[in-house]
Amino acid sequence: MIITIGRQLAAGGRTVGQILAGQLGLKYFDKELLLESARRSGIADELFLRADEHYNLFTLALKTDTQKLFQFQSDTIRQLAEEGDCLFLGRAADYILRDRKDLFTVFLSADMQDRVATVMKKEGMTEEEAAAFIEKTDRRRSDYYNFYTGKRWGDGNCYDLCLNTSRFGIEGTVEIIKTSVECSERLRFTTLQ
């Protein structure tokens, strides 16, 4: 079983992913994926961390460094998925693994007021700073996803399940995803027989 979670900033994606991976016995990959990609490719960690969910059209026009990093990361995601059940947070993993029959894709959003409050508390920012930080990070994630996948980040047509964590809370979101994954797995096995 492979689960991917795309998420808006401060929608609880990391927490949901970690809890879900723990409850389902899945390996969890987020930023660790970047370090694993660097290790497997022999490229310095800093390059992967600097390019994390970023793309730069100017850099792409001059050379393919960013695309090479995306390719190394994509190869690592595919290899890790082949090695066993896991959960990937972000990094366009849903698109990279789109041909797998055991893939379940999720996108998490949250109400802006909740996201702003979370960032204000976590980062010590003012309300205006938090809102600007959220917009910039979401735009960066959207640009990255849209560029490499040709799809629209956060578009419900790109995912098996889209949830607003403000409506269901972290625990409720985890339970809904678990139930949906279990249902999907039962249907997949019924179809195979």
Q: Can you tell me the distance from the alpha carbon of 151 to that of 145, in angstroms, rounded to the nearest whole number?
A: 7
Q: Which residues contact 67 (CB under 8 A, 6 or more apart)?
A: 60
Q: What does the mean pLDDT of the chain come to?
A: 88
**Nearest-5° Cα angle at 10, 67 to 146:** 30
The stretch 59-66 carries a mean pLDDT of 50
Q: Can you tell me the distance from the alpha carbon of 154 to that of 4, in angstroms, rounded to the nearest whole number?
A: 13
User: So what's the architecture of 2-185 in CATH?
Assistant: 3-Layer(aba) Sandwich (3.40)
Q: State the pLDDT confidence band at 192, using cuts at 50, 70 and 90.
A: low
Neighbours of 66 (CB within 10 A): 21
What sign results for the dihedral spanned by CA atoms 152, 153, 158, 163? negative
Q: Can you tell me the distance from the alpha carbon of 48 to that of 33, in angstroms, rounded to the nearest whole number?
A: 9
Q: Can you tell me the distance from the alpha carbon of 94 to that of 133, in angstroms, rounded to the nearest whole number?
A: 25
pLDDT tens readout for residues 120-166:
999 999 999 999 999 999 999 999 999 999 999 999 999 999 999 99
The residue ranges of every structural domain in the chain are 2-185
Q: What is the pTM of this model?
A: 0.88
pLDDT tens readout for residues 63-85:
446 788 888 889 989 999 999 99
